[in-house]
């Protein structure tokens, strides 16, 4: 765990005391629907880790709404809704999606009167054909593989409440943008956006994705553990294809290759793409987060760091 002087670091036990009412309405069945293939999350995690986070978000949201109203009055404007945006970052396979989905469910049950949306930034990757044309298909996920201008415009439109706002659709079955298909975000009260790039600072831009966030979370772990989780997830997707082969699925191509070659390739992709991206471009953004969740073996969150100022 890096030394970050502008954060207070709390053990799991210490953090567990920083919450209001415990969420009894989250069940094991909910968690089975929420967690990713390679992730683990328990009701104990909900009680000790995520309930305090939910309560902290409640405080931030209340302050945000009060400030928005006060600012409108200061400007002589009619108060209007401005969506509250939560960003979640971290490495590939570290568990960002599970964190995002769990927080979405908890917030929905806290605020049944609010519309809460969740998206990933995968839809803002350039299509594989464009990545290939640029000669950067092997660098997919690196900062320059995203259409950052489109992503910034999307966030600007969401914050300005120009609803509905369209964004590209990404297929996690064939790992590419779906041509001629978009998704819509329509007048959310809270938007959760997760992705490896959400806290990054692309060069030569006057504004950054994180400038639109009202609260940011970084999910951290030792890279050796993340590699294990990445390989475990890879094996899980392969196993799913063995049971239900689909020629359109990205992992189908590996079914006819020797298993040892396939796994050697997976480790090479981790080392040359995902680990390189983590060390050079993702982990350096950690200090832009308001909250850092540090994981250890078994996806157990053992430390929580909260920014002091």
Q: Is 178 assigned to a binding site?
A: no
Task: Give the three-class secondary structure for 180.
Answer: strand
- Say which residues have a Cβ less than 8 Å from residue 200's Cβ, sequence separation at least 6: 143, 208, 209, 281, 282, 285
Q: Is 94 assigned to a binding site?
A: yes
Whether residue 95 contacts residue 84, with contact meaning beta carbons closer than 8 Å, is answered with no
Cβ-in-10-Å burial (0-12, 13-18, 19+) of 308 comes to exposed
Residue whose pair of structure tokens reads 């629907």 in the numeric block: 33
d(CA 141, CA 251): 18
- Say which residues have a Cβ less than 8 Å from residue 240's Cβ, sequence separation at least 6: 251
Instruction: Please name which of 181, 198, 187 lies closest in space to residue 158, comparing C-alpha atoms.
Output: 187
Residue 76 has what DSSP assignment? T
Q: Is 42 assigned to a binding site?
A: no
Task: Give the three-class secondary structure for 125.
Answer: strand
d(CA 304, CA 301): 8
Q: Is 87 assigned to a binding site?
A: no
What angle do helix axes 223-243 and 259-269 make, rounded to 10 degrees?
140
d(CA 287, CA 308): 11
Q: What angle do CA 123, 129, 135 make, to 5 degrees?
A: 105
Q: Is 20 assigned to a binding site?
A: no
Q: Is 97 assigned to a binding site?
A: yes
Binding residues: 90-97
Binding residues for ATP: 90-97
């Amino acid at each position: 765990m890096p030394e970050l002087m502008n954060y207070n670091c709390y053990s799991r036990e210490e953090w567990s005391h920083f919450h209001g009412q415990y969420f009894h309405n989250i069940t094991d069945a909910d968690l089975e629907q929420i967690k990713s293939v390679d992730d683990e999350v328990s009701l104990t995690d909900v009680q000790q880790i995520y309930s305090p986070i939910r309560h902290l978000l409640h405080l931030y949201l209340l302050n945000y709404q009060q400030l928005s109203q006060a600012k409108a009055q200061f400007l002589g404007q009619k108060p209007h809704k401005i969506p509250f945006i939560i960003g979640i970052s971290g490495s590939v396979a570290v568990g960002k999606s599970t964190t995002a989905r769990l927080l979405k469910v908890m917030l929905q049950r806290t605020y049944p009167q609010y519309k809460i949306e969740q998206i990933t930034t995968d839809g803002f990757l350039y299509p594989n054909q464009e990545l290939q044309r640029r000669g950067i298909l092997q660098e997919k996920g690196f900062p320059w593989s995203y259409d950052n201008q489109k992503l910034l415009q999307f966030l600007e439109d969401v914050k300005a409440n120009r609803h509905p706002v369209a964004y590209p659709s990404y297929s996690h079955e064939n790992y590419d943008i779906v041509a001629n298909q978009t998704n819509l975000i329509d007048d959310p009260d809270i938007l959760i956006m997760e992705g490896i790039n959400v806290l990054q600072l692309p060069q030569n831009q006057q504004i950054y994705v994180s400038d639109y966030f009202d609260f940011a979370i970084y999910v951290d772990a030792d890279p050796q553990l993340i590699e294990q989780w990445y390989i475990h997830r890879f094996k899980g997707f392969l196993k799913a294809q063995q049971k239900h082969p689909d020629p359109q699925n990205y992992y189908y191509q590996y079914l006819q290759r020797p298993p040892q070659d396939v796994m050697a390739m997976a480790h090479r992709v981790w080392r040359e793409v995902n680990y390189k991206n983590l060390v050079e471009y993702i982990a350096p953004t950690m200090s832009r987060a308001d909250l850092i969740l540090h994981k250890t073996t078994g996806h157990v969150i053992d430390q929580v760091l909260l920014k002091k100022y």
